[in-house]
Structures are given as structure tokens and as C-alpha cells.
Amino acid sequence: MFAAAALAFSQLFTPPFRAVLFKSLGLTLALLVVSIIAITTAFGALVALPGWVEWGIQIVGGLGLVVGSVFLVAPITALFAGMYIDEIAESVERTHYTQDPPGKTLGVFDGLGISLRFGLVVVAVNIGVLLLLLLPGINIMAFYLGNGYLLGREFFEMAAMRYMTPGEARALRREKRVRVFLSGLLIAGLVSVPLLNLLTPLFATAFMLHTVKDVMGRRGHASGSVPLSPRD
């Protein structure tokens, strides 16, 4: 597991990964800016108040939207990064698995659909975690256990579907559920670190692709891949 994580980290700041990060961040910031402008403009047009009151509310509300946007950058970036999942996977395959046939592309809409699905589930779990804030310690444990399971499941199956059918990917995930869960915990750890969580979809895609290759019997390295051999 740690070897797969090290391989994923080693590629995080290479040009293909940086390109996906910059594109995702650009789309995220553009969406947030447009949303802030639209909300403040609509409020000013629909609510009739004395000039100085309206002006003050717009300033305070605008600042509130900006602050709130800070917390939305990571999940929205992850959503947009789903559009470029194939670019990340193909870069990993070209670098570490040159002797293997390339995986099947998921397509922009499939990748975005997967990201949207796991994003909604993660949001639901974290809402549940917020309800446990009055129970110190339990909420932290719930955060990591819930996100570890969800992130491990979604990214493992997404990577596995490049090489097998969805049904086979689910079966392989259930067979290797302990490793998948522990790998998901590592991803959840990255999610909990501000700024670094922007890298979550990039790292998780590369990490789980290495994991899938490993459990299938192939371990990548800089110059290619080792011969096929059975693995437990």
C-alpha cells in the first residue's frame, strides 16, 4: 500500500498532473466568481432597502460568500477534476506500465458522473459527522472511517473499471476490501489537510490505479513493469 502511495506522490507535480490541477482550479474559481456576482446582483435587484443599508448588506454578504467559497474550493475542484480522470490514469500508465496494454477510457461524462456520485455521498457522510460534533472524538473517528470507506470504494472501482467490467471491479473491491479500506483511510487523511486536499482526486486516482495493478499482479516502476505474477 505504501509503495503505491509513494509512486502516486512522486508523480503529483509532474506536468500532466499540474495541467489537470490548474484546469480544475481555473474552472472552480470561475464558477465561484460568477456565482458570487450573480447572487449579490440578484439580491440588489430583488430587495428594496435604503441605499446605505443595501450597500452594507451587499458588502457583508459578499464577504460571507467569499469566506464560504474557501470551503467549497476543494470539493468543487474534485468535481471538475473528474472530467480529467482519464488524463491522470493514462499518464500513470505511460510512466509506470509501459509494457501493459492501456486501460479503457471512462470518458469525460463517466468520470464526471463518478466524481459527482462520490462527492454527494461524501457530503452526506460529513453532514452526519457534523451532527456528532457534540461528541468529541467520535466525530473525528466517524469522519475518517466514513470517508475512508467511501473514498477507497469509489476510487478503487473507478481505477479497476479501466481493466474490467463494473461487476468485476466491485467483486475485486470486495475481495480486497481490507486493503481498499486502509487505502481509503490514507486518502481521507489527505482530504482533511487544507490546500493539500486540492490534490485529492489526482493522488487518489494514481494511488488506486497502482493498487489495482498490484492486486492484479503487476507492480509499476520507472522503466516499465515486472512480469505478471499472482498476488494474494
pTM for the model stands at 0.71
Which grid cell sits at 194? 487544507
Domain that holds residue 171: 2-225
Residue 231 resides in a domain: no
The answer to whether residue 68 is domain-embedded is yes
Q: Can you give the pLDDT at residue 146?
A: 78
With a pLDDT cut of 70, the percent of the chain lying above it is: 61
User: For all residues of the chain together, what is the average pLDDT?
Assistant: 75
Residue 158 inside a domain? The answer is yes
Nearest Cα neighbor of 20 from 12, 29, 30, 31 is 12
Mean pLDDT value of segment 164-174? 90
Q: What pLDDT score does 227 carry? A: 36
Most confident of 20-24, 95-99, 215-219: 95-99
pLDDT at 25 over 50: yes
**What is the sign of the dihedral through the CA atoms of 139, 144, 147 and 148?**
negative
What's the pLDDT score for residue 77? 64
Residue 230 covered by a domain: no
Among the residue ranges 42-46, 62-66, 100-104, the one predicted with the least confidence is 62-66
Give the residues across from 78 on adjacent strands. Answer: none
Section 15-41 average pLDDT? 79
Predicted confidence band of residue 225 (pLDDT cuts 50, 70, 90): very low
191-218 pLDDT tens trace: 777 777 778 888 888 999 999 999 887 5
Number of domains in the chain: 1
Average pLDDT over residues 141-146: 77
What's the pLDDT at 211?
94
User: Residue 185 falls within a domain, yes or no?
Assistant: yes
For the cut 50, the answer to whether the pLDDT of residue 219 exceeds it is: no
